């Protein structure tokens, strides 16, 4: 098995009597995007602060690229790109100056640095505004520059802490596309969010965190199955629906089948996997299907099931 880019285990941090993070652990493989999904105050930022060596942990270990991370591990820190939740740029410097400054802190210099800066400006869509002071930028542009700084030195692990908070839908989409592109290039990404849609779109695996603990972890499908959630398929159909329902009920994948008002309502274990078979059975009974609507359980419902609360509570 290949060495994981990040392996952390047993992370613990308490502030006086408040235990902010308790026994948090997960691993991220190269090229994988791992999401930490949880509401505000769940312990995401504290976990990230320990992983990135900003915060002294009370317990546990963090290993990045085979190297232990502490607050003084400069070699390990070089493997990491951090995009803090707050926009961490210098408003009175231009976009290019911001990138060059942080590039130098990561040991980059000369033509290599300048070339990489141009490359990143392209990735974040700020080439045309490279020499404008960032104080003149919109919130979305600042967010993109914030991300650009994090990926400038081509880190093995990019940590994005709620990178889309407070940005317009257009910029959010641009940010999400950038992250998808990065994981496609082999960079491991740790992405924290309380937006369920972002976690579902970007993350190969998700850890659901609440009150400082990882409640569940896995792919979206695994999480859904873990809590016993099923996909719902609605077929808009004409013809004799009752024989079709009877035939569908015989399928092992179908847990419930019902017909009502020209629709067949099914509860199945995996809609994507069994849809072809279901359609085949239905059309085999002479029913004509004019529409298919699949309602997969989402992470919001998983979170609700695990914690008894909604993500945005």
Partner 1 sequence: MRAAWTIAVKDLKQRLRDRSAIIVGIIAPLVLAAIFSFVFNPIEDFEFSATYVVVDQDGGPAARLFVDQVLGAMAADDTITVDELDTVEAARVLVDVEVDPFAEDVQSADAAFILPAGFSATVVSADPATIEVLAGRGSQTAAGVAVAVAEQFASQLQTARVAAATAEFYGLEGDRAEIGLRALGVPNLATVADAEATSKILNGTTFYAAGLAIFFLFFTVQFGVNGMLEERHAGTLPRLLAAPIPKFAIVAGKAITAAIMGVVSMSVLVVATSLMFGAEWGNPLGVLLLIFGGIFAAIGIMGIVGAFAKTAEQAQVYSSIIAVVLGFMGGTFFPVGQSGGLLAQLRFVTPHAWFMQGLGDLAGGNVADVFPAVFALVVFGVVCGTLAALGIRRGLAA
Which residue ranges make up the site for partner 1 (CB under 8 A)? Answer: 49, 52-54, 56, 71-72, 74-75, 77-78, 80, 82, 84, 86-93, 97, 101-102, 104-107, 149
What stretch of H or E contains 230? none
The minimum distance between CB 27 and partner 1, in angstroms, equals: 20
| Least distance to partner 1, CB of residue 52, Å | 5
* Tokens coding 111: 């033509």
**Nearest distance from C-beta of residue 105 to partner 1, angstroms:** 4
Closest C-alpha among 25, 26, 10 to residue 58: 10
Residue 31: CB minimum distance to partner 1, A: 22
Q: Phi-psi category of 162—alpha, beta or left, where left has phi over 0 and alpha has psi -120 to 50?
A: left
Phi/psi region, residue 181 (left: phi>0; alpha: psi -120 to 50; beta: rest), is alpha
Residues whose CB falls within 8 Å of the CB of residue 249, separated by 6 or more in sequence, listed in order: 257
Q: Which is nearer to partner 1, 51 or 208 (CB)?
A: 51
101 vs 256 by CB, closer to partner 1: 101
CB of 120 to partner 1, least distance (A): 15
* CB closer to partner 1, 150 vs 297: 150
Q: Return the residue matching tokens 């410097």.
A: 93
24-28: long-range contacts at Cβ-Cβ below 8 A with a sequence spacing of 24 or more? Answer: 24/60, 24/209, 24/212, 24/213, 24/214, 25/60, 25/214, 26/207, 26/214, 26/217, 28/4, 28/157, 28/188, 28/189, 28/190
State the nearest-atom distance from the C-beta of 53 to partner 1, in Å: 7
Of 66 and 184, nearer to partner 1 (C-beta) is 66
- Alpha-carbon gap, residue 131 to 40, rounded angstroms: 35
Q: Which is nearer to partner 1, 80 or 282 (CB)?
A: 80
Q: Which is nearer to partner 1, 72 or 280 (CB)?
A: 72
């Amino acid at each position: 098995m290949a060495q994981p880019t990040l392996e952390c285990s047993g992370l613990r941090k308490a502030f006086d009597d408040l235990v902010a993070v308790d026994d948090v652990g997960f691993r991220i493989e190269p090229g994988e995007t791992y999401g930490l999904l949880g509401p505000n105050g769940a312990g995401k930022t504290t976990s990230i602060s320990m992983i990135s060596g900003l915060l002294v942990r009370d317990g546990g270990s963090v290993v990045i690229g085979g190297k232990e991370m502490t607050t003084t591990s400069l070699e390990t820190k070089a493997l990491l790109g951090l995009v803090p939740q707050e926009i961490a740029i210098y408003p009175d410097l231009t976009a290019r100056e911001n990138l060059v400054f942080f590039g130098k802190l990561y040991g980059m210099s000369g033509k290599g640095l300048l070339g990489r800066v141009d490359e990143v400006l392209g990735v974040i869509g700020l080439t045309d505004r490279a020499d404008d002071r960032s104080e003149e930028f919109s919130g979305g542009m600042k967010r993109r520059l914030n991300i650009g700084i994090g990926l400038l030195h081509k880190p093995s692990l990019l940590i994005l802490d709620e990178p889309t908070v407070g940005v317009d839908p257009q910029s959010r989409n641009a940010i999400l596309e950038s992250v998808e592109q990065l994981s496609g290039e082999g960079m491991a990404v740790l992405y924290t969010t309380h937006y369920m849609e972002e976690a579902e779109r970007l993350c190969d695996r998700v850890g659901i965190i609440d009150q400082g603990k990882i409640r569940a972890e896995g792919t979206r499908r695994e999480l859904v199955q873990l809590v016993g959630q099923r996909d719902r398929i609605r077929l808009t159909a004409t013809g004799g629906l009752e024989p079709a329902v009877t035939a569908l009920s015989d399928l092992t994948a179908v847990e419930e089948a019902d017909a009502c008002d020209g629709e067949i309502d099914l509860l199945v274990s995996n809609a994507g996997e069994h849809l072809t078979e279901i359609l085949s059975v239905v059309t085999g009974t002479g029913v004509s299907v004019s529409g298919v609507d699949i309602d997969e359980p989402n992470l919001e419902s998983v979170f609700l099931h695990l914690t008894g609360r909604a993500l945005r509570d």
